[in-house]
Structure 1
Amino acid sequence: MAQTEEWTDTAPEAKRPAAGGWPGVVAVAGATFTVVTSEMLPVGLLTPVGDALGVTEGTAGLTLTITGLVGAVSAPLLTPVLGRFDRRRVLCLLMAVLAAGNLLAAWSPNFGVMVAARVLVGIGMGVVWAIAAGLAVRLVPGRSVGPATSLIFSGIAVASVLGVPAGTYIGELTDWRTAFATVGVLALLVLVALAVLLPPLPAEQQLRLGGVLRLVGSPRVATGLAVVTLLVTGHFAAYTYVRPVLEEISGASAGMIGTLLLVYGIAGVVGNFAAGAGVGRSPRGTLVVISLVLAATVGLLPLLGGSVLTAAVLLAVWGLTYGGVSVSTQTWLLASAPQAREAASSLFVGVFNGAIALGALVGGLMADRVGIEAVLWLGGALAAGALGVTALGRAPGSGTL
């Protein structure tokens, strides 16, 4: 019983609002969109960032690795520390940190300053993501908690698939520094929205690190975390270097890159909502399909992606399937620990961002030392590994959310 009380982040029924807090939910969804867009922004800008700062594309990819690694550490460590404070104030503070990181990145005269900027982004991103997952239950009546939670998660999913092409377009129309500055300004606007639209959200209980870590002992949670590790590491080993992949394998011009990534993004949004509809009925079945299609698509790109047309088709399928990863895996984790949502979410964010960091790092090493095609083979192999773990591991039952 003590463990349940330590982990629980669900608001008591009496404390739930009597009527709509949807403006607050939208503001929190804006925060999740902004933090994940900030994290992913370098993906479509690696070439110009590397050229401007005098580093290789593989080294420029470390801007993603650093942010993911910091987010992976900050989510499970800082969420319990900050959990004792009013969540509205914490979110506003973290959005200020995020804005500072993006604006510093826009100014950075060298790679060292860029690294410092991306550390700030990682701190803001990891904790905002972890805290946001448990807020819907405190903002809307009980009957609306499910849709409100899905809307908050959609900020993460939409940013994962649209943040990169948006940043790429801004970079092409102006330059990469303007792209970072734009997201910094967006973070400040979201900060204002959170301050105005969220009610006071005092801490309801103290979440302890030990309670978070004990969740790993659950077979269902452990299986979900393993699937997250394999899918996200494989995806970012390949996708971090999607711009040079499209330039070198498909012959896409710089002007086409933004359009191709937009195709990927639109398909990803469709995939997010399609997976969200299916994962509640069958978490295992949904992730089996996602893993299988991702493994095939990424693995086929070096073989069939020699023209812009075939690359666009494969990229659309890639986006469609990966668009469902965040909602499917986070639903798996929350269904595996329904009385420990914030604890499960902080673990999810930590592992997810650690996998981003690992994928970007390993992909960079492969790109620099073996060749750009190698990152696609690696991504496909890891997705195939996720397929095996999903099929054989312990899954939560349907309808548990």
Structure 2
Amino acid sequence: MGDEADLNKERLELVLEAAGLDLWENDLVSGQVTHKASKTFEELGFTQDEIVTGVQDIFGLFHPGDLDKVKQAVADHVAGITPQYRAEFRLRSKAGEWIWFANYGRIMDRSSATPGKRLIGVTFNIHDRKQKEDEIAQINQQLLEQNKLLQELNTALELLAANDSLTGLANRRTLMELGANECKRTERFDHPLSLLVVDIDLFKTVNDAWGHLAGDRVICAVAQACAARKRSGVDIVARFGGEEFVIVLPETDGVSALRVAESLRHDVAALSVPVNEQGASASVTVSIGVATMHKGSGIGFEELVNRADKALYRAKGTGRNAVYCADVQQGGAPAVHVLIEPDEDADADGVVTA
């Protein structure tokens, strides 16, 4: 009988060794460790003598962040809350490194009549697995950060693709796309759609006198004046090219568009734009062409822009610093109006009907 017990013990030790498991046993009544996890101490770099004489309490080797979790897992099993005791934790090696281990155990002599006093379990090294988990977590975190950066870059690229790099206004491509949609809305809902083409008068003289950097400052100042008239979420303000801008005014008739254009003309004329570090400034004026379409006009957005552009050249032909309107009525027939500085030939609003 004794030989069979010894054989079974040897078999158990072989299985535990092959599986990398270290058997331990605690007496829950006395609190004594009746079978110490010697293999675990050896893995941590301690000799057998050190295990016997120097390392009496394995809890002294636990990582401070793990100890309470291990004790709670033991308490939950002892109280019958969990069917087994399971815990993962870090132990400090003799060299001072933190090594990951796991425990699995169970109270072996528990019955309905007795609470059980022997907690038996195994300890095994899970350091490689934890390192791989940490590596995967780091990779996932890097992927999250890279995806966030990629989204930010995509947003920035979309913004660059849709906006003029100098002024920040919508660019020509965006203008044509959004403008075409507004034309469809005009046909669908029977709302007027007005458009302003704004051009800086004699802009070449600014570049010739002060240089292209000064010219860029003037362009940006006029762009800001145009953008200041924008109704958020309604109007479209775009740089059409060079020193030319387009303002799209949905649900705006010709008379209202003329008021916007004239107000903008006055605001630009009042600008004083710094052009160098010595405090010099430049003043410019703009000429503006206005066109309005209604449902049934039979024209598209490109044609509306063309008509406003032709009106712009008529405004420049009056001597510049002027507004000219070609109001597109049903059937496409234009009615023209010129808005100039008030004089003896103009009415109180400075509007002359041609």
Q: TM-score, normalised by structure 2?
A: 0.28
Higher RCO by CA contacts (8 Å cutoff, separation 6 or greater): 1
Query: What is the TM-score normalised by the length of structure 1?
Result: 0.26
Higher strand share: 2
